[in-house]
Homo-oligomer: A and B are copies of this chain.
Amino acid sequence: MMRIFGQSGSGNCLKVKWTCDLLALPYVWTEIDTFGGGTRTPEFLAMNPAGQVPVVKFDDGRVLAQSNAIIRYLARDSHLIPQDPFDGARMDEWLFWEQYSHEPHIAVCRSQLVYLRKSRDQLDPEKVKRGYAALGRMETQLRATRFLIGERVSLADMALVAYTRVAHEGGFDLATYSAVRRWIGEAEQALGIAG
């Protein structure tokens, strides 16, 4: 059975779990203590030299890393990836944007407050600013369409909702982002994300 190596508080790891749950793909979850050096052991680095979770290991021993590459592979024949190539490319645009312009700001601020126990005034103001810019970009899109690439849910929503739904834990105030708040609820429901 497929094994997911992840940290249960990490949105990147939860994307993989949620995709498996939604598509009824069986898996075993192995919890990795990322803050206790769990990604720096020789065993882990032999599996993923990048030293990052999530990682999935298949029955035949093959290994895949990078959350968005993993969910794209697991969902390859599902309704979560548009069949039209251009719609698929727009989904990819959001996936790459998420890792470059959203996660490094919103998830990192959250990590610093929640796990590293920093206070809000210790956050990098540039990261806070860029996090709000990311929320603003999503708000603009989600005022125009129900989900990120149109009226149907896709992996773009899976990738973006993971950290957006806990953005407040990173100190981000969603009060003025009404379309984002509306979308979080609808995306959670469409993707079967609970709790």
Please list the residues of chain A having a beta carbon within 8 angstroms of any beta carbon in chain B.
Answer: 49-50, 52, 62, 64-70, 72-73, 76, 85-86, 88-90, 92-93, 95-97, 99-101, 103-104, 137, 140-141
* A142 CB to nearest B CB, Å: 12
* A10 CB to nearest B CB, Å: 14
* A51 CB to nearest B CB, Å: 9
A69-B50 in contact (CB<8A): no
A97-B62 CB under 8 A given contacts A73-B86, A76-B85, A92-B72:
no
B85-A73 in contact (CB<8A): yes
The closest CB in chain B to the CB of A136 belongs to B49
A64: chain B residues at CB < 8 Å are 86, 89-90, 93
A68-B85 CB under 8 A given contacts A99-B99, A137-B50:
no
A66-B96 CB under 8 A given contacts A50-B101, A89-B72, A89-B73:
yes
B93-A96 in contact (CB<8A): no
* A74 CB to nearest B CB, Å: 9
A49: chain B residues at CB < 8 Å are 137, 140-141
A69-B93 in contact (CB<8A): yes
A96-B73 in contact (CB<8A): no
A62: chain B residues at CB < 8 Å are 86
> Can you list 21 pairs linking A and B with CB atoms under 8 Å apart?
A49-B137, A49-B140, A50-B101, A50-B137, A52-B101, A64-B90, A65-B97, A66-B92, A66-B93, A66-B96, A68-B92, A69-B89, A69-B95, A70-B89, A72-B89, A73-B88, A73-B89, A96-B96, A96-B99, A99-B99, A99-B100
